Structures are given as C-alpha cells and as structure tokens.
Amino acid sequence: MSLVEEVSSVPDNETIEGTADQVEGVADQVVASLYRQHLFAARHLSELACQLEDANPGTTDPEIIRRHRAYVIGNVLSATAFLEASINELYLEVQGHLVNGSEGGRRVLSVPAHFWSSVARPPILHKYQLALVVADAEPFDESRSPFREADALVALRDALVHGRIEWRDQHGRRQNLERRLRAKFKHNTLSSAEGAEFPDQLLGAGCAGWAVKVVEQFSDEFCRRMAIPARGVGPLESSP
C-alpha cells in the first residue's frame, strides 16, 4: 500500500500519542518559521535583476553580468525554497495540533503524526498533492497549470544545483528544460543572441519574475483548495 493510500484509509477518530519532547520539538520548529522570508527574498532578487537589466541594456561589463546572474539564480533558489519550506512547515504545524490535541477544520488534522515524518522523502510537489489527498481536497491536475508551471520551476532549480553533465550537453535534460521554459517569459536582455539558451538566455529578469508568479499562484491555489489562509507575503515594501 502506498503512503497516500495508507493516509487516506486512516479513520477520522484516530488518536495521536506524543511525548513532551516531541511536542517541544514541533513547537520550536514552527516558531522558527522562515518560508515567508524565502518568498520575500525571491521577490526582492527579482526586482534587483529587473533594475539591473533596465539600467544596462547591451552591457558587456563582467561585474554587472555576474551580479545579474547571482540575482536570478538566488531568486530561483529562494522561490523554490519557499514552496518546500511552506509545505514542510505546514506539516509541522499540523503535527503540533495533533500532539497538543487541538481541533482543526480539516480532516488533515486527524492523520497520525508518524505519517507526516514520512513526507520528508517525496519530491516537493508530491507533498502538496499528499496534503490535498488526506484533507479530502481536490489534488492538482499535473498536466495543467499551476502544477505544470511549478514543476518546470523545480526542474530549473534542479538544473542549477545538481551539476550533472547532461545540463552541459546539447541533448537530453538540457534540451528538454529549454523547451519547457523558452516561451514562458522574456529572455535575458543582457545575453547576446550567440549565448547558450540555458543558462545565458533563460536566466534573466523575465525568468525571475516568472518564478515569483509561479510559486505565489501555486501556493494560493493550494491554500484555496485546503480552505486555509494564504501563506504568501504582502507588497514588497511590507515586512515579511
């Protein structure tokens, strides 16, 4: 039986047992919430990348190009970190409710705590799907947006951090990634037409703005389906 099937079969009146140490550990982790800060960082880095592109059209200054690349890469990593931290912290919050005996409006709060610890293993977006399943909410259609967009962003993050030789090849994963992303946003205006599509042309302010939009839409739709408050941040000038 799969993890999703096991969780779905849990009776609504399932009881939870937890030690004082477990309760204290959950509380400590939830208090140290950082998921909104990841989104704030992604939005801030997107603004910086956009400002740099607008102020330096056609530049060949290596320092400006390095700073710009750093902003965009940081944006993609932070946007994806928001998705992962948000769902991980939601599971911790749920586990805290369970061990403390608090009541919640969703059946998700009746799932045994030991199932939540198993969720650390699956990919990021699978965690969201699992939460929707156990909450008796409608899972995302993985062939459509916003899931498809979020999946493309995770693939881009993987390309930036895994360092596999396929990403430097003209075939396979790199080519597939380029196909998935090329029509989604405006290409980097600091890159020449001769530059490689990935990373030179794709990693620009357009990509950074797209990354923020993707995670905000995905998170908002998830929260709507779960009937819980949105987990994003307000305007960029506001405190996270």
Q: Is the peptide bond before 139 cis (omega within 30 degrees of 0)?
A: no
56: number of Cβ within 10 Å: 16
pLDDT score recorded for residue 224: 96
Residues 168 and 174: beta-carbon distance below 8 Å: yes
pLDDT higher for 89 or 205?
205
Average pLDDT over residues 62-90: 96
pLDDT score recorded for residue 6: 42
Residue 159 has pLDDT above 80, yes or no: yes
Asked whether the whole model's pTM tops 0.85, one would answer no
What does the block give as tokens for 58?
């056609």
Q: Domain coordinates of the chain in residue numbers?
A: 20-226
pLDDT score recorded for residue 134: 85
Residues 6+ apart with CB under 8 A from 47: 236
Residue 106 has pLDDT above 80, yes or no: no
Residue 177 has pLDDT above 80, yes or no: yes
pLDDT score recorded for residue 16: 34
Average pLDDT over residues 133-142: 93
Q: Measured between alpha carbons, how far is 178 from 88 in angstroms, rounded to an integer?
A: 29
- Which range (21-35, 82-96, 189-203) has the least confidence? 21-35
What does the block give as tokens for 207?
């990509």
Q: Measured between alpha carbons, how far is 188 from 163 in angstroms, rounded to an integer?
A: 22
pLDDT digits (tens, 9 = 90+) for 186-221: 999 999 888 899 999 999 999 999 999 999 999 999
